[in-house]
């Protein structure tokens, strides 16, 4: 099943030629379809689930997960899938400029409801003025050509920092464009940090984002064996920067839910995500509750913060036997259970 943006790409496949790179691609097999008419196709996913979907397909597509390719390379065509976070587009344009050969073709595609119309105001000096090439399936497709200006990948312009005061001291929080709560602490995590449990041993920060919870836990107890997982490549990069900025170390890696997590933990802490793309869903959180129970040691602590309107209670009771709410506001609840 191809997404609407991918269908629009294939409808205009005459503009996708030679050595092709897909940036921020979606969870489908468009890369496989493009192989039929292209010399080669490489896919760089910023979403770990999208990377896994392409890997599982067994396609002869070179696919990577991360904020950049593992080594320098150049391409004749670069396709950018417009991100749900508009601020991320500048970073993707920089990546495209780095990897696209001079005179090469840039294609930008996205859904109207996803904000693609804003691309008219997000042009880059590294490309000719973009032209609307097609409009179908509630999507837009733009094309532009790479010019001869020098392009280098610089993370710093897309990295923000702020200071966070906690009960145990001040932390420097680093975050990347497009990552949740980019420039200030969100209210849910703030409530969670006010009620952090005392933890020891091996602890998991699920959906770590910029590493706020991880940094606060390590400030409280630097001896923790902390692991940080997320599906977003820029979130993992931001988490690494936050840890480094505060002199902490932890294992940071991608995971689809807890599928790539092994072993048992003394604690699992999270402000779990409840969005998949542009859609709100409780499926991620529901699976997380069930999987958490299996990954906790006897006596282990499971604690999350969640929006009040999300139906967690029944799932928590089903897997932990009871619901314990240790703090709440008019918007959020903090749940804590022991195994």
Per-residue pLDDT, 70: 96
Reported as a single tens digit per residue, the pLDDT across 40-75 is 999 999 999 999 988 876 667 899 999 999 999 999
Residues 54, 168: one domain? Answer: no
Question: What is the distance, to the nearest Å, from the Cα of residue 225 to the centroid of all Cα atoms in its chain?
Answer: 23
Which of 145, 178, 211 is at the close of a domain? 145
CATH of the domain at 41: 3.40.50.150
| Residue 303 near residue 336, CB atoms below 8 Å | yes
Q: Is the pLDDT of residue 7 over 80?
A: yes
Three-state secondary-structure class, residue 159: strand
Residues 135, 280: one domain? Answer: no
Residue 61 lies in a domain: yes
Calculate the average pLDDT of the chain.
93
Reported as a single tens digit per residue, the pLDDT across 71-128 is 999 999 999 999 999 989 999 999 999 999 999 999 999 999 999 998 988 888 899 9
Residues 27, 138: one domain? Answer: yes
| Residue 320 near residue 326, CB atoms below 8 Å | no
Residues 135, 175: one domain? Answer: no
Residue 150 lies in a domain: no
Mean pLDDT of 188-198: 96
Residue 151 lies in a domain: no
Residues 257, 333: one domain? Answer: yes
Q: Exposed e or buried b for every residue in 294-307, given b needs 16+ CB within 10 A?
A: ebbeeebbbbbbbe
pTM, two decimal places: 0.94
pLDDT band at 278 (very low <50, low <70, confident <90, very high): very low
Residues 132, 262: one domain? Answer: no
- Cα angle 297-201-246, degrees, rounded to a multiple of 5: 135
Q: Where are the alpha helices (DSSP H) in the chain?
A: 4-11, 30-34, 48-56, 88-99, 187-193, 212-220, 233-245, 283-295, 313-320
For 78, 151, 187, the CA distances from 101, given in Å and listed in that order, are: 9, 11, 44
- Cα angle 24-27-31, degrees, rounded to a multiple of 5: 75
Residues 163, 101: one domain? Answer: no
User: Residue 59's domain spans which residues?
Assistant: 4-145
pLDDT band at 151 (very low <50, low <70, confident <90, very high): confident
Residues 34, 129: one domain? Answer: yes
Residues 176, 317: one domain? Answer: yes
Phi-psi region of 212 (alpha: psi -120 to 50; beta: other; left: phi over 0): alpha
Which of 102, 119, 145 is at the close of a domain? 145
Per-residue pLDDT, 279: 47
Residue 249 lies in a domain: yes
Per-residue pLDDT, 56: 72
Residues 79, 164: one domain? Answer: no
Which of 109, 124, 145 is at the close of a domain? 145
Mean pLDDT of 166-174: 95
Residue 79, Cβ neighbours under 10 Å: how many? 28
pLDDT band at 39 (very low <50, low <70, confident <90, very high): very high
| Residue 280 near residue 246, CB atoms below 8 Å | no
């Amino acid at each position: 099943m191809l997404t609407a943006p991918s269908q629009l790409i294939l409808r205009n496949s005459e503009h996708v030629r030679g050595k092709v790179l897909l940036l921020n691609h979606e969870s489908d097999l468009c890369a496989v379809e493009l192989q039929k008419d292209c010399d080669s196709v490489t896919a760089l996913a910023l979403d770990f689930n999208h990377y896994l979907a392409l890997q599982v397909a067994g396609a002869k597509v070179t696919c990577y997960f991360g904020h950049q390719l593992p080594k320098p390379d150049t391409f004749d065509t670069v396709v950018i899938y417009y991100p749900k976070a508009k601020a991320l587009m500048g970073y993707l344009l920089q990546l495209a400029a780095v990897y696209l050969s001079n005179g090469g073709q840039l294609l930008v595609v996205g859904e109207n409801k996803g904000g693609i119309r804003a691309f008219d105001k997000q042009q880059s000096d590294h490309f000719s003025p973009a032209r609307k090439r097609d409009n179908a399936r509630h999507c837009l497709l733009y094309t532009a050509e790479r010019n001869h200006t020098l392009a280098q990948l610089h993370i710093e312009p897309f990295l923000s920092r702020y200071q966070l005061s906690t009960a145990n001291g001040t932390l420097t929080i680093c975050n990347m464009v497009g990552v949740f709560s980019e420039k200030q602490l969100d209210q849910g995590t703030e409530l969670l940090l006010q009620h952090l449990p005392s933890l020891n041993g091996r602890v998991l920060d699920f959906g770590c984002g910029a590493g706020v919870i991880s940094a606060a836990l390590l400030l409280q107890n630097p001896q923790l064996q902390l692991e940080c997982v997320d599906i977003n490549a820029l979130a993992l990069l931001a988490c690494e920067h936050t840890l480094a900025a505060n002199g902490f170390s932890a294992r940071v890696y991608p995971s689809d839910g807890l599928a790539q997590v092994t072993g048992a933990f003394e604690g699992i802490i999270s402000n779990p995500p409840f969005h998949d793309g542009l859609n709100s869903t409780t499926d991620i959180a529901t699976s997380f509750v069930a999987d958490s129970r299996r990954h906790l040691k006897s006596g282990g602590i499971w604690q999350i913060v969640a929006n009040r309107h999300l139906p967690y209670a029944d799932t928590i009771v089903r897997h932990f036997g009871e619901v314990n709410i240790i703090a709440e506001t008019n918007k959020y609840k903090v749940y804590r259970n022991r195994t």
